[in-house]
């Protein structure tokens, strides 16, 4: 079973091109699944039944795993078995008989346009760090990039004269994203007066560098946006994804086409983008309740 898992992980990495974080999640979920099967004395692939899959999910629930994490584990198990059927390792997929867990879709947190302005204005200092932070925040809000896409940008990925950037999204799919004027100005300030002073190594040609001259990590930017939000007096629980959510929501509120927003966000399925139409409707409902005399 472990050998089949190794082949499956290689398939996800090489042929599907999944991101490292996604691969690690698959690996954790399936290692836990194989441990469960071993405890059940299941030795052969074709001995696995739907009852075993249900028993695994029940075990996850008993251990206190959240519904969303259990649903992710079921997806991993189902995909693993589907791979084994396709490779003729197994005759059937026992997980196909197990219904997917239906989760209540939580609406993402977004910032108001005024809160965004406060956040973007927080890095006031004309230092390399201040210029870098301002450029990163402006660029994130202007493009709706994922944080992994932002920190992974190389110098050659941004075409300042053309007003756009190139990024590799999930599944290593390339897309071009337009960049607004305010973000371009902040980026030019950082490139001319900040980046070269952050370090001498500048390894890998990354656009955004830490104090040592190396590329920033996702965790590093997480700390930056938390610190800048506090500095701006914003008490909401802000993450890098909050600016991505705000980018999409504000575009739709101002009349942008849903398909255009889907393309800019890099969503493979438009149903993923449609969550933001729910956000805008919910916001309108709250405004109506707050300001209408009979709300």
Closest CA to 132 of 159, 156, 151, 109: 151
- The residue length of the chain stands at 295
Per the DSSP assignment, residues forming a β-bridge with 209 are: 215
Domain membership of residue 223 as a residue range: 113-291
Please give the pLDDT value at position 151.
93
Selected catalytic residue, list 134, 244, 245, 250? 244
Q: Which of 46, 71, 97 is the last residue of a domain?
A: 97
Establish whether 146 is a catalytic residue: yes
Q: Which of 97, 127, 143 is the last residue of a domain?
A: 97
Please check whether residue 103 lies inside any domain of the structure: no
Please check whether residue 107 lies inside any domain of the structure: no
Mean pLDDT of the residues in the chain? 86
Establish whether 244 is a catalytic residue: yes
C-alpha 241: how far from chain center: 7
CATH of residue 170: 1.10.443.10
Percent of the chain at pLDDT exceeding 70: 88
Please check whether residue 93 lies inside any domain of the structure: yes
Q: For the chain, how many structural domains are there in total?
A: 2
Please check whether residue 105 lies inside any domain of the structure: no
Q: What angle do CA 72, 75, 78 make, to 5 degrees?
A: 150
Q: Does 137 share its domain with 257?
A: yes
Please give the pLDDT value at position 294.
56
Establish whether 267 is a catalytic residue: yes
Selected catalytic residue, list 28, 78, 170, 226? 170
Q: 9 Cβ partners below 8 Å, 6+ apart?
A: 23, 26, 27
Q: Does 158 share its domain with 182?
A: yes
Selected catalytic residue, list 70, 134, 146, 245? 146
Q: Does 51 share its domain with 18?
A: yes
CATH of residue 80: 1.10.150.130
Q: What is the pLDDT of residues 7-63, one digit of tens each?
A: 999 999 888 888 788 899 999 999 999 999 999 998 888 899 999 999 999 999 999
Reduce the DSSP state of residue 167 to 3 states and report it. strand
Q: Does 130 share its domain with 185?
A: yes
User: Rounded distance, CA 234 to CA 232, Å?
Assistant: 6
Q: Half-sphere exposure of residue 74, counting CA atoms within 13 Å on the CB side?
A: 25
Low-confidence ranges of the chain (pLDDT < 70): 100-108, 199-204, 278-295
Reduce the DSSP state of residue 4 to 3 states and report it. helix
């Amino acid at each position: 079973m472990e050998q089949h898992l190794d082949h499956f992980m290689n398939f996800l990495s090489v042929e599907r091109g999944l991101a490292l974080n996604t691969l690690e999640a698959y690996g954790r979920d399936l290692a836990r699944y194989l441990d469960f099967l071993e405890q059940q004395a299941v030795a052969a692939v074709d001995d696995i039944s739907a009852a075993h899959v249900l028993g695994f999910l029940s075990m996850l629930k008993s251990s206190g795993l959240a519904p969303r994490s259990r649903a992710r584990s079921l997806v991993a198990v189902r995909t693993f078995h589907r791979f084994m059927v396709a490779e003729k390792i197994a005759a059937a997929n026992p997980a196909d008989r197990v219904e997917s867990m239906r989760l209540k879709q939580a609406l993402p947190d977004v910032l108001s346009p005024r809160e965004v302005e406060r956040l973007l204005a927080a890095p006031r200092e004309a230092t390399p760090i201040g210029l870098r932070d301002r450029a990163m925040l402006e660029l994130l809000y202007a493009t709706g990039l994922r944080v992994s896409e932002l920190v992974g940008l190389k110098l050659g990925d941004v075409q300042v004269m053309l007003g756009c950037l190139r990024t590799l999204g999930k599944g290593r799919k390339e897309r071009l994203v337009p960049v607004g004027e305010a973000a371009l100005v902040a980026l030019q300030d950082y490139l001319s007066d900040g980046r070269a002073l952050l370090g001498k190594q500048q390894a890998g040609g990354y656009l955004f560098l830490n104090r040592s001259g190396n590329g920033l990590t996702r965790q590093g930017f997480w700390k930056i946006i938390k610190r800048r939000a506090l500095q701006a007096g914003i008490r909401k629980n802000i993450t890098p994804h909050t600016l991505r959510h705000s980018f999409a929501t504000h575009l739709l509120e101002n009349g942008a086409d849903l398909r255009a927003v889907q393309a800019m966000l890099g969503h493979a399925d438009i149903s993923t983008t449609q969550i933001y139409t729910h956000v805008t409707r919910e916001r309108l409902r709250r405004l109506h309740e707050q300001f209408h005399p009979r709300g």
